[in-house]
Amino acid sequence: MSQAFAQTKSSIVYAPPSDDFVSIELQEFKGLPRLGVMDNYGDRNINPRGGVRVGRNSAQLEKSKMVTDGRNAFSLLVSLKYVKPFMNDLDKQSLTTVKGNMSKTEANSAFLQRFLLSQVAPNLCLNEDCRNAGRGNNEFERLRNYKTFIDKFLEPLLKWSQQVFMNGEWLIYHVSTLNIGSNYDFDRGGYWVYHSLVLNDIFPMRQGVMKQVVFEPSSSYEQALVNKLENPKSVPFFLQMEAQTAEGLKKEGNNRLYLVKKIKLRPLNKELEDSIGPIKFGYSHETPDVEIYTDQRLTEHYKTLYMNDLILKN
């Protein structure tokens, strides 16, 4: 992704260009960013009524907040990269007034100003002059704060954003849940489960420009899977499990398993048609195997499945 990444024991840190901006921290799994269902750093407690209660102390809550903030900040950085071509429409001398008969240039300027002032400055800035970009007690103060942001901080932020997807792709681990709360199939020995192929949880939905992540098969085993599916957006398959294991999970109140796959993410549209259009990404599976874990921390491995061997529901 970028040379600016530094890996720690439990996270991957995306260093900012200066102390004016936040350091972006993403969860890590096997040396790559972990996205999708995150580890919330909670302690699992048994709920006698079923389900798993999660207790978190202040340190765990702070760690969870740091990861959430990191995902939001990274998503904003991705948005900045793809709206950069529209920055020529940005009015840098005055705040654009929203009105009914706006030109395309004015509409782009209004959108970009709202994006920069309400999302970028509060979430990517540490410097107070940078964070105050959208604030002020009156229109004169707000304009001064805006122009300070434009003059001192916008260009470094735009340059930083260009380090995202420098090689045209991003390798990550995606985690999703498999619900085993339904009744056990004693005849087959396991559960029917569903796995979505539409990954709407890689980027936070409301951070920056809208982003769409769709499955774009590139390997023979992926194409073979797609050819078997009636609905190309989800995979209904049978997860074999011994009755003793299934009963043990039910007694623990654990109705969820965690499916992990290594995927390659790549932008499909190199440039946006307009500033408010969605950024489209395609992904493919880096390997034909998917891993199943019984815990959110991904420390308790249950089994490995292979796409070619999945028993699909008719």
DSSP type of residue 308: G
> What pLDDT does 45 receive?
43
Q: Which tokens in the block code for residue 240?
A: 């074999």
Instruction: Give 262-310 pLDDT, tens digit per residue.
Output: 999 998 876 777 777 788 899 999 999 999 999 999 999 999 999 988 8
Low-confidence ranges of the chain (pLDDT < 70): 1-9, 43-56, 207, 270, 314
pTM equals 0.87
281: nearest Cα among 111, 165, 178: 165
- Helix pair 154-161, 58-83: axis angle to 10 deg: 90
d(CA 298, CA 4) in angstroms, rounded, equals 26
Contacts of 84 (CB under 8 A, 6+ apart): 158, 161, 162
Residue 293 near residue 301 (C-beta atoms within 8 A): yes
Beta bridge partners, 26, equal 12
Q: Is 97 helix (H, G, I), strand (E, B) or coil?
A: coil
244: nearest Cα among 192, 186, 292, 179: 186
Listing DSSP states for 205-269 in one string gives TTSSS-EEEEE---SHHHHHHHHH-SSTTEEEEEEE--HHHHHHHHHTT--EEEEEEEEEEEES-
